[in-house]
Amino acid sequence: MSGVLNLVSVGPGYEDLIVPRAIAALRDSDVIVAYELYLRWIAPHIEGKQVFSPPLTQERERAQLAIEHARKGARVSLISSGDIGIYAMAALAYEEMREDDTYAVNLVPGVTSANACASLLGSPLSHDFATLSLSDLLCPWEWIEHRARHIAQADLACVMYNVQSASRQEGVYRVLQLMLESKAPGTLCGVVRNAYRPGQQVDIYRLDELPGLKFDMLTTIVVGNRFTARKRGQIFTPRGYNDWAQPELPADLPALDKAAQEEALPDNAVWVFSGTSDGNALAAGLAAADIGPVVVSAASDHGGDLARQDCPGAAIWSGRQGVEARRRVLIAKGARVLLDATHPYARAMSEQLLGLSRELGIPYLRYERPSEYTVQDGEACDSVEQAAARAVATGQRIFLATGSKDLATFLQTPGAADRQWFVRQTAEPELIERALALGIPRERICAMQGPFSAEFNTALWRDWGIDCVVTKDSGGAGGYQAKVQAARALGIPLLVVARPQLAYPALVASVGDVTQMLDRAAPGRNTP
């Protein structure tokens, strides 16, 4: 008598997501082989059947046991959650089968973790996407990084399985860094824990917020692409029908498409990576000096508009660009020097530029605005996490002057739910929506472009009854002293997040420094 081996998918957890064909296979089976957790989901359909449940780490033994009974003529169901053919038991069963086996094999599809998590977030997988397991138990870590890098370079939406375990803590942060090298920091993502199970949690973040979070093996991360957008508290990725046009170009380049805009950039130029007012001022000074062409690269269209206003004489390259686009253009244009004038806390961008400098053999200079922190200002914190813990321990009505990037870290700190949080950030709609999604009430959001005066800070914090302020050592261009003065006037504790420490090969502080370093770093190149 020939047996039957049913490879049965039972979905993400709740019984109403088990497909009817799976239920029919269970009821038609004599023997059930499953991890014990899955039995509670299918209990009504397996009464009176012979059940085997080897523990979690004995996946191969489960497959062998199911096949052994099928070879004896039994009708067997081997169970997996989600879809049994995706990161699950089906592959093990096929490995253990023999070509001369005579039992029938039926694979019953199911609702995958990717499908389940995507449905809770909205529709983030509506166009091309990839799945990536971060477990290196069965796959070398180098392969995982290689695949992650190419997924990011292709700007595919991505679902990450097996995100973080007790023994594998750092891998996810390495993969997120690879994603940030090619994907825009503001790429919308979802973090789903226990999808369609008790304790379900669903949150939406920017890609650059994810490295500040903690995960576990019950968490799935969904990373969008450049077109993923918000709608009614959820996210979706357009299918692409007639919607692949690039964002509108600046008014002074109405006839140029993206490729032509890049082609119009000058060769052999000093490339200034800016995004701050003092960075733009430095670029403007360089454009007015007798050093040859200057290109200002801004990370957003708004930053590009400011650079056109602030940097006459410089060429502007703006918008969301990944590392591949930067590498391509720097090579094509024979960049003379990379001048990193990004924000003091834009560590990921500085690391990317340092990497490109080494890879392409282009000299790197770092413009670092002077620190203004003194011990009399307030308590220094080595990290955002430390500042969050100290804020919870210090105040009840806490004002965050740290920007939007680290907001989730503060709000997920133990004890944060018992505090009232007030934030100030730029008036970008997506940032305001993000703050609201994290639970900040509208009346506690100050959406304005800084820097701000000491008088403004004093009035705002007094009216809001603030009793603790968290800021960064942002220097004069970031309005640091105005925050120190206001906190001192009100007697409010000030927590200052220290700057990230990187080993910069060369530091400059003025146009004169840059011209001297240019002569030493790349003498004789592009002399007018």
Q: How is residue 521 written in tokens?
A: 């770093």
Tell me: do 398 and 355 sit in the same domain. no
Domain end point (choices 47, 80, 111) = 111
Q: Does the reported pTM lie above 0.85?
A: no
Tell me: do 50 and 79 sit in the same domain. yes
Tell me: do 303 and 281 sit in the same domain. yes
pLDDT at 246: 44
Q: Is residue 252 part of a domain?
A: no
pLDDT at 515: 82
Tell me: do 364 and 383 sit in the same domain. no
Q: Is residue 264 part of a domain?
A: yes
Tell me: do 366 and 386 sit in the same domain. no
pLDDT at 254: 37
CATH of the domain at 511: 3.40.50.720
Domain end point (choices 185, 203, 236) = 236
Q: Is residue 40 part of a domain?
A: yes
Q: Three-class SS string for 228-259? A: CEEECCEEECCCCCCCCCCCCCCCCCCCCCHH
For residue 188, the cross-strand partners are 206
**CA 456, CA 356: separation in Å to the nearest integer?**
41
pLDDT at 517: 79
Residue ranges in the chain modelled with pLDDT below 50: 242, 245-256, 523-528
Tell me: do 346 and 384 sit in the same domain. no
Per residue in 440-468, pLDDT (tens digit) is: 999 999 998 777 899 999 999 999 999 99
pLDDT at 1: 56
**CA 315, CA 297: separation in Å to the nearest integer?**
9
Are the CB atoms for 160 and 132 separated by under 8 Å?
Answer: yes
CATH of the domain at 21: 3.40.1010.10
Q: Is residue 452 part of a domain?
A: yes
Domain end point (choices 111, 131, 149) = 111
Extract long-range pairs of 20-27: CB within 8 Å, 24+ residues apart. Answer: 21/108, 22/108, 22/110, 25/77, 25/106, 25/108, 26/77
Q: Is residue 194 part of a domain?
A: yes
Mention every residue, 6+ apart, whose C-beta is less than 8 A from residue 125: 114, 115, 118, 157, 159, 222, 237
**CA 469, CA 351: separation in Å to the nearest integer?**
29
Are the CB atoms for 84 and 78 separated by under 8 Å?
Answer: yes
Tell me: do 440 and 479 sit in the same domain. yes
Helix (H) or strand (E) holding 274: none
Give the CA distances from residue 234 to residues 204, 215, 330, 405, in Å, rounded to whole numbers and listed in that order.
8, 21, 37, 19
Span between the terminal Cα atoms of the chain, in Å: 90
Q: Is residue 242 part of a domain?
A: no
**CA 273, CA 262: separation in Å to the nearest integer?**
15
Tell me: do 317 and 335 sit in the same domain. yes
Tell me: do 135 and 230 sit in the same domain. yes
pLDDT at 348: 80
- Number of independent structural domains in the chain: 4
- Residue 36: how many CB atoms within 10 A of its CB? 11
Q: Is residue 250 part of a domain?
A: no
* Boundaries of domain holding 385: 379-497
Tell me: do 387 and 351 sit in the same domain. no
Tell me: do 463 and 423 sit in the same domain. yes
**CA 107, CA 7: separation in Å to the nearest integer?**
5
Q: Is residue 87 part of a domain?
A: yes
Tell me: do 156 and 183 sit in the same domain. yes
CATH of the domain at 422: 3.40.50.620
